[in-house]
Amino acid sequence: MTTENKEKPKLKMAVYWGAACGGCCVSVLDVHEKLFDVVAAADLVFWPIALDFKYKDLEAMPDGHIDVTLFNGAIRNSENKYIAMLLRQKSKIMVAYGSCAHMGGIPGLANFSTKEELFKRVYFESESTLNSEKILPEPDFKVKEGDLELPVFYNDVMPLNKVVCVDYYLPGCPPQTERLLEVFMAIVNGSELPSKKSVIGAYDKTQCDECERKKTDNKKIKKFYRPWEIEDDGETCFLEQGVICMGPATRGGCGVRCIKGNAPCRGCYGPPPDSPDPGAKMMSAVATMIDANEDVEIDKIIEDIVDPAGTFYRFSLPGSIIRRKL
Amino acid sequence: MEEPRIGVYICWCGTNIAKMVDVEYIAEEVKKLQNVVVSRNYKYMCSDPGQDLIIKDIKENNLNRIVVSACSPRIHELTFRKALENAGLNSYLFEMANIREHVSWVHTDRKEATEKAKSLVMAAIKRVGFHESLAKRSVEINPASLIIGGGIAGLTAALEIADTGKQVYLIEKKNSLGGNLAFVDLSFPDLSSVKQILDPKIEKINKHPNIKVFLNTEIDEIFGYVGNFETKLFENTKSEETLKFGNIIVATGLKPFDPSVIPEYAYGKLPDVITSIEFEKMLKEGIIRTKAGKEPKNIGIIHCVGSRNNKYNEYCSRTCCATGLKYANQLRDALPEAGIYELYGDMRVFGKGCEEFYTQTSRKDIVFMMFDQRNDLPKIKANTSKKDFNMIIEINEKLSGEELNIPVDMVVLMVGAQAQDNAKDISHAVGISMCGNAFYIERHPKLDPVATTTDGVYIVGSCQGPKGIIDSVSQTRAAVSRILGTIAKGSVQVEVTTAVVNEDVCCGCQTCISVCPYTAISFNPEKNISVVNEVLCKGCGTCGSACPTGAIRSRHFTDLQILSQIEGIMSLELEEV
């Protein structure tokens, strides 16, 4: 890190969140003491979770003012979309940061419901809700003091690339801090960046390539288990033990952390190149592993997969081919 | 990728398509699409002038993609691919939209049929833009052949091939040649001696310089592909020998049905209830006696044992009816005074000379009785009274509607045919498929009945389904002519629409390996990737859809090609909304 290099102008960087849990912003903070290197090399010109900026500050910036924006979170409402478009306009490089911006992520599972179903559940039915007047959020609401505005809630959760042009994708839930630093330093040092629209901070090969568990071609499953239902030997491929592991459909780059912690891969790093729908790919693969020929037996085995849609499309539904429930 | 310049041709198929689909309208409509340079409709695209139209357009308009919208690609895909080749274009830069079988023949509303045809044409146009040139490949043929099974089919095949001067390896798991026929006395319908058919063949084979026979030998694993197979044999589990050969004939035959599972027939409980196999042995020895050593006075012959009944085997075993009639003839000759009863479900003696054989037999004082083969089998019981017969057959005679008791001293069960116990092992070894009854599946039941989906592997005789000598020998000679044809040619074209592994992405999970029906995929532990043997691969696409990584691409059926095809269909609907 060359903090002494006075001639080099500091990078202008922004971090913003759409529909997200906040974990991605925290992962940026997770650089720990390296944060000093980051702030030495970059000025954070917009980062609402950590520093006090207003929309108007952003609106006032000239176009292309920001060098790099790390946008995390999916697009759920009109506010997410507006700021995403604004940041795109103000930024030279737009990075979809984390699973939600990349493919829709966990909030994207809401696409298995319609907006009406979600509102009904959240505002009328949930156990902790008292709403006898059946009030729903209104985008425009007049009170004595004036007009109030709320963002419009969309029917669909969308990945970032459905509303703006994305330069790079940095996957993960959240992205591993080491990968972020590598990417950040590459930008700071002016290294040649990969071609636009590519995934950075992850490998082309999937988890299995790094996974040290023993793998064979004997993937025959008579019964599916959830991880806590088996005595994992810590050595055998999860799939071969009947535990659904998204590893073969998921890029490496996280350091196979879940698997090393004896938990199957959940798929947050997204699919390898040229594989647009990891959920479909994995379902199709798992279907070939079912060790039965009779319909009844096959049905029985499949029933053991709890929440198949949420399992296979946990991070990727809005970015997949099916996108949502119709 | 080069910019697609697409030519689209909508065929009338005389009135076959044109009467239900507005071909002129579609040709006009698709003209508006991006990359469509030429769009025409023509009365018969498959005719020479039709093909010349394409060739001329390719040359004059520099077309690099062709869509023909006509009948099923099963009928004319090859025709048009040839036309592309004649115009100097790779034949895979072509797509066919089936608007005859899939549209005009199955719809009655002209407007809707036209819209459907249009969307199929749009799909083909979208797809063809992503087609890639594929290079044809061929492999050389080793002129030696492996024949598995030393029954009548295997023996015939061995001699036919060896007599042309080519090497034959004949494998038989038992310690002698002849198969099931070796235990048969006479053959139907002419009652000629089986021994006279079989013995000269076996003798000739044993002396033949081009035939090497391996007895007591089973096939474990066969490696390679058409033209270049290899196996290791362990004869008598002693000496090991590596064989190399270019083609395989599977002639593993059948095994008889075990009737002890049918409670009504009391086989194994009543000593004088015997199978046709056991009876055949008596005929061969020339002594027909009950277990007690007495000459039987009344004999029952029960048909369809284990066949044509959902509880056992649903299929017809094909040879038992005629064999049952053969027994009646032989019994009548041997025991002129005996009562002979043929108990049958339906009499199925088809084939040349067989109906006549039935008629002749029925004139020899034989009693024919019909029963309900599916729901009401006759019952064989021991005779407990002191009368001079040891069993009674109770039958609900279907034609008379009467319940009858037939006194008998001997019952012959016409046991059906079943696939061999090791049918699955053989299917794995040679890479062919079995139907639900474990008989082997031909490539096409009508158009390619002795080939299999694995090139260079042929199935003949009863391993493909129960059959008699005549059919077995016909099939064998058909397979032999196929093999001699490929040997004469010296090389064969192999499939080019194969699967290919992207080594940069494959993670070595090995999901693909066990799903491949052609054992074409293996694991390379050094590179930690799967490898497709492109000669074995038939391009079925199973591995491509099983691959969770998206590392396997099925050539000519890539995700991009299929998704763009879907897009072509969907885009039309979106326009209308």
Distance from C-alpha of B221 to C-alpha of B267, rounded to nearest angstrom: 38
**A228 CB-near residues (< 8 Å, 6+ apart):** none
How far from B442 is each of B158, B484, B494, CA to CA, in Å? 21, 19, 18
Kindly tell me if the per-residue pLDDT of A39 is higher than 60. Answer: yes
Distance from C-alpha of B364 to C-alpha of A120, rounded to nearest angstrom: 86
DSSP per position, B330-376 = HHHHH-TT-EEEEEESS----STTHHHHHHHHHTSS-EEEE-BTTTB
Let me know whether B264 and B405 are in one domain. yes
Q: What is the DSSP letter of B468?
A: -
Of the residues B362, B393, B418, the one at which a domain ends: B418
Please write the tens of the pLDDT for every residue from B332-382: 999 999 999 999 999 999 999 999 999 999 999 999 999 999 999 999 999
Question: Per-residue confidence at B1, pLDDT binned at 50, 70, 90?
Answer: low
Please write the tens of the pLDDT for every residue from A5-17: 556 788 999 999 9
Q: Is residue B570 part of a domain?
A: no
Give the containing element (helix H, strand E) for B510: none
Of A209, A219, A289, the CB nearest to B508: A209
Q: Which two tokens stand for residue A132?
A: 């006898």
Let me know whether B351 and B338 are in one domain. yes
Where are the extended beta strands (E) located within B236-278? 239-245, 247-250, 254-256, 273-275
CB A28 within 8 A of CB A34: no
Q: What mean pLDDT comes out for the span B500-518?
A: 92
Distance from C-alpha of B530 to C-alpha of B501, rounded to nearest angstrom: 7
The pLDDT value recorded for residue B224 is 84
Interface touch B509/A273, C-beta < 8 Å: no
Which domain CATH number covers B409?
3.50.50.60
Percentage of chain B modeled with pLDDT above 70: 98
Other CB atoms within 10 Å distance of the CB of residue B326: 26
- Taking CA–CA distances from A244, the nearest residue in chain B reads B548
The pLDDT value recorded for residue B535 is 81
Let me know whether B283 and B345 are in one domain. yes
Let me know whether B394 and B278 are in one domain. yes
Other CB atoms within 10 Å distance of the CB of residue B363: 7
Distance from C-alpha of B469 to C-alpha of B353, rounded to nearest angstrom: 14
Please write the tens of the pLDDT for every residue from B308-323: 999 999 999 999 999 9
3 state DSSP class of B278: helix
The verdict on A276 touching B (C-beta cutoff 8 Å) is: yes
- Taking CA–CA distances from A206, the nearest residue in chain B reads B507
CB A124 within 8 A of CB A131: yes
Kindly tell me if the per-residue pLDDT of B576 is higher than 50. Answer: no
**B112 CB-near residues (< 8 Å, 6+ apart):** none
Residues of A in contact with B559 (CB under 8 A): 274, 276
How far is B99 from chain A, CA to nearest CA, in Å?
28
Residue range(s) of every CATH 3.40.50.700 domain in chain A: 11-107+156-199
Let me know whether B19 and B110 are in one domain. yes
Q: What is the DSSP letter of A106?
A: G
Residue with tokens 């993609």: B65
3 state DSSP class of B95: strand
Least confident of B43-47, B229-233, B374-378: B229-233
CB A27 within 8 A of CB A175: yes
Let me know whether B197 and B224 are in one domain. yes
Closest CA to B103 of B68, B66, B69, B67: B69
The 8 Å CB, 24+ separation contacts for A163-166 are A163/A75, A163/A81, A163/A84, A163/A85, A164/A84, A164/A85, A164/A87, A164/A88, A164/A94, A165/A88, A165/A94, A166/A94, A166/A95, A166/A96, A166/A101, A166/A197
Q: Which two tokens stand for residue A27?
A: 């992962």
Q: Is residue B242 part of a domain?
A: yes
Closest CA to B477 of B138, B228, B249: B249
For residue B457, what are the β-bridge partners? B248
Kindly tell me if the per-residue pLDDT of A124 is higher than 70. Answer: yes
Let me know whether B300 and B411 are in one domain. yes
Distance from C-alpha of B554 to C-alpha of B557, rounded to nearest angstrom: 5
Residues of B in contact with A253 (CB under 8 A): none
Q: Is residue B194 part of a domain?
A: yes
Let me know whether B208 and B117 are in one domain. no
**B31 CB-near residues (< 8 Å, 6+ apart):** B8, B39
Q: Name the amino acid, one letter, at A314.
A: R
DSSP per position, A10-52 = PEEEEEEESB--SHHHHHHHTTGGGHHHHHHHEEEEE-TTTS-
Which residues in B have their CB inside 8 Å of a CB on A? 502, 504-511, 513-515, 523, 528, 542, 545-551, 559, 563
- Domain interval for residue B205: 145-253+420-492
Pairing label, strands B417-419, B254-256 = antiparallel
Of A215, A276, A284, the CB nearest to B510: A215
CA B316 and chain centroid, separation:
16
- As for how many domains chain B has, the answer is 4
Residues of A in contact with B523 (CB under 8 A): 217
How far is A283 from chain B, CA to nearest CA, in Å?
8
How far is B550 from chain A, CA to nearest CA, in Å?
5
For residue A97, what are the β-bridge partners? A72, A170
More confident residue, A315 or B454: A315
Distance from C-alpha of B329 to C-alpha of B361, rounded to nearest angstrom: 6
Interface touch A204/B504, C-beta < 8 Å: yes
Cis, peptide link before residue A174, omega less than 30° from 0: yes
The pLDDT value recorded for residue A6 is 55
Give the gyration radius of chain B's Cα atoms.
30
Give the containing element (helix H, strand E) for A209: helix A207-210
Interface touch A272/B550, C-beta < 8 Å: yes
Percentage of chain B modeled with pLDDT above 90: 87
The pLDDT value recorded for residue A168 is 95
Of B513, B545, B549, the CB nearest to A272: B549
Let me know whether B235 and B276 are in one domain. no
Cα three-residue angle A249-B547-B230, rounded to 5 degrees: 145
Question: Per-residue confidence at B33, pLDDT binned at 50, 70, 90?
Answer: very high
Cis, peptide link before residue B189, omega less than 30° from 0: yes
Q: Is residue B563 part of a domain?
A: no
3 state DSSP class of A140: strand
What CATH number belongs to A11-107+156-199?
3.40.50.700
The pLDDT value recorded for residue B572 is 56
- Which ipTM was obtained for this model? 0.88
Of the residues B418, B443, B470, the one at which a domain ends: B418
How far from A212 is each of B137, B433, B504, CA to CA, in Å? 39, 36, 19
Residues of A in contact with B546 (CB under 8 A): 284-285, 288
Let me know whether B389 and B524 are in one domain. no
Residues of B in contact with A273 (CB under 8 A): 505, 550
Q: What mean pLDDT comes out for the span B68-81?
A: 93
Q: Which two tokens stand for residue B290?
A: 């009950």
Exposed, middle or buried by CB within 10 Å (0-12, 13-18, 19+), for B269? exposed
Please write the tens of the pLDDT for every residue from B428-441: 999 899 998 999 99
Give the containing element (helix H, strand E) for B149: none
The pLDDT value recorded for residue B255 is 96
Q: Is residue B465 part of a domain?
A: yes
The pLDDT value recorded for residue A193 is 84
Kindly tell me if the per-residue pLDDT of B228 is higher than 80. Answer: yes
Interface mutation vs chain A, best among B130, B435, B511, most A CBs within 10 Å: B511
Of B509, B515, B523, the CB nearest to A208: B509
DSSP per position, A44-80 = EEE-TTTS---HHHHHHSPTT-EEEEEEESBEEEHHH
Which domain CATH number covers B504?
3.30.70.20
CB B433 within 8 A of CB B427: yes
Q: Which two tokens stand for residue B347?
A: 């009499």
3 state DSSP class of B256: strand
Please write the tens of the pLDDT for every residue from B163-222: 999 999 999 999 999 999 999 999 999 999 999 999 999 999 999 999 999 999 998 889
Kindly tell me if the per-residue pLDDT of B426 is higher than 90. Answer: yes
Count of CA atoms in the C-beta half-sphere (13 A) of B104: 23
Please write the tens of the pLDDT for every residue from B261-298: 999 999 999 999 999 999 999 999 999 999 999 999 99
Instruction: Tell me the average pLDDT of chain B.
Output: 94
Q: Is residue B388 part of a domain?
A: yes
Q: What mean pLDDT comes out for the span A103-114?
A: 97
Q: What is the largest CA-CA distance in chain A?
A: 72
Which domain CATH number covers B110?
3.40.50
How far from A243 is each of A247, A250, B109, B402, CA to CA, in Å? 11, 16, 51, 63
How far from B124 is each of B10, B144, B276, CA to CA, in Å? 12, 44, 59
Interface touch B550/A274, C-beta < 8 Å: yes
Distance from C-alpha of B442 to C-alpha of B464, rounded to nearest angstrom: 7
Distance from C-alpha of B305 to C-alpha of B414, rounded to nearest angstrom: 6
Interface touch A206/B559, C-beta < 8 Å: no
The pLDDT value recorded for residue B238 is 66
How far is A268 from chain B, CA to nearest CA, in Å?
14
How far is B304 from chain A, CA to nearest CA, in Å?
28
Let me know whether B165 and B57 are in one domain. no
Closest CA to A19 of A98, A120, A95, A135: A98
- Taking CA–CA distances from A277, the nearest residue in chain B reads B550
Of the residues B418, B437, B470, the one at which a domain ends: B418
Distance from C-alpha of A251 to C-alpha of A202, rounded to nearest angstrom: 7
Give the containing element (helix H, strand E) for B228: strand B228-235
Query: Hey, CA dihedral for A244, A245, A248, A249, is it positive or negative?
Result: positive
